[in-house]
Amino acid sequence: MSTPLDTNALKARQQAAWASGDYAVIGTTLQLVGERLAEACDLRWDEQVLDVAAGNGNATLAAARRGCRVTSTDYVPELLKRGEERARAEHLNVVFQTADAEALPFADGAFDAVLSTFGVMFAPDQAQAARELARVCRPGGRVGLANWTPQGFVGQMFKTLGRHVPPPAGALPPSRWGDEEQLRGMFEGALGELKVSRQHFNFRYRSAAHFIEVFRTWYGPVHKAFASLEPEAAESLERDLTQLLNESNVGGESSLVVPSEYLEVVIIRA
């Protein structure tokens, strides 16, 4: 008989991973995704917008730049501090609040739009997180998501990490959020309309070695994976990541340009 997944323990482990390194070093390069999502959701001035698992605030800033009244949330306070610094630099009025995507401290239907870019997909209890996104979005409002796909580069990178540092038994892969049919199941009952567009974000680095150096130093999940391995096992992980990066590179021999597919999702709340 299998042991049930301890989602609280997994969440604590994830919090420690995301708090390690400095996600903003990588996160700020993804700002384009937040801007695209804000346009896909057709955000309007004075709308109430919630950014869930906001990280360093890409969707937060995109919404605030469009005149929205934004509340930016994450369960890792260290990440919110980076978003707050960015909003302050642009003189944007944003409320920052520590909150768990699986238990959002807001009333039903409190927001016109609920956003998450590469954030809520990492919640351990995926069904509960989806229910919470739908709950706090008003009927006729929009839930806007950017989710890495299983077959895209980041999905494959996490598969590679999982081969070297296996996830807890029973843990669902975050890339399920990048599968349209899985999304339909998660939001069943709250789904008025589902609009899905496949997009690509290009990671741009000097080389595979440069990418690994940056991610190993600053990106929590990769940082923690390497830190948990003995030197020989860490070298094996590095070889596998190097192979994946070089196979995905479209930038030629002198640079690294790796397209990574993601789903841009707009759900009209029933």
Q: What are residue 260's DSSP bridge partners?
A: 201
Asked if 222 and 216 touch (Cβ cutoff 8 Å), the reply is: yes
Report, as an integer, the average pLDDT of 232-236: 98
Is beta strand 256-269 parallel, antiparallel or unpaired with respect to 191-205? antiparallel
In this predicted structure, the answer to whether residue 105 has a pLDDT above a threshold of 80 is yes
> How many helices and strands (H and E) does the chain possess?
11, 7
**Burial letters 100-137, b for 16+ CB under 10 A, else e:** bbbebebeeebbbbbbbbbbbbbbbbbebbbbbbbbbb
Q: In terms of residue numbers, what domain contains 54? A: 7-151+167-201+262-269
Is beta strand 111-117 parallel, antiparallel or unpaired with respect to 69-74? unpaired
Within-domain flag for 103:
yes
CA–CA separation, 186 and 176 (whole Å): 10
Within-domain flag for 244:
no
pLDDT at residue 235, as a whole number: 98
Within-domain flag for 206:
no
pLDDT at residue 238, as a whole number: 98
Q: Give 161-191 pLDDT, tens digit per residue.
A: 999 999 988 899 999 999 999 999 999 999 9
User: Sign of torsion, CA 206 208 211 212?
Assistant: negative
Report, as an integer, the average pLDDT of 73-85: 95
Phi, psi of 147 (to 5 degrees): -130, 130
Within-domain flag for 45:
yes
Within-domain flag for 140:
yes
The total domain count for the chain is: 1
What CATH number has the domain bearing residue 174? 3.40.50.150
Q: pLDDT band at residue 12, thresholds of 50, 70 and 90?
A: confident
Q: Give 197-210 pLDDT, tens digit per residue.
A: 999 999 999 999 99
Within-domain flag for 215:
no
Within-domain flag for 184:
yes
Within-domain flag for 221:
no
Q: What is the pTM of this model?
A: 0.95
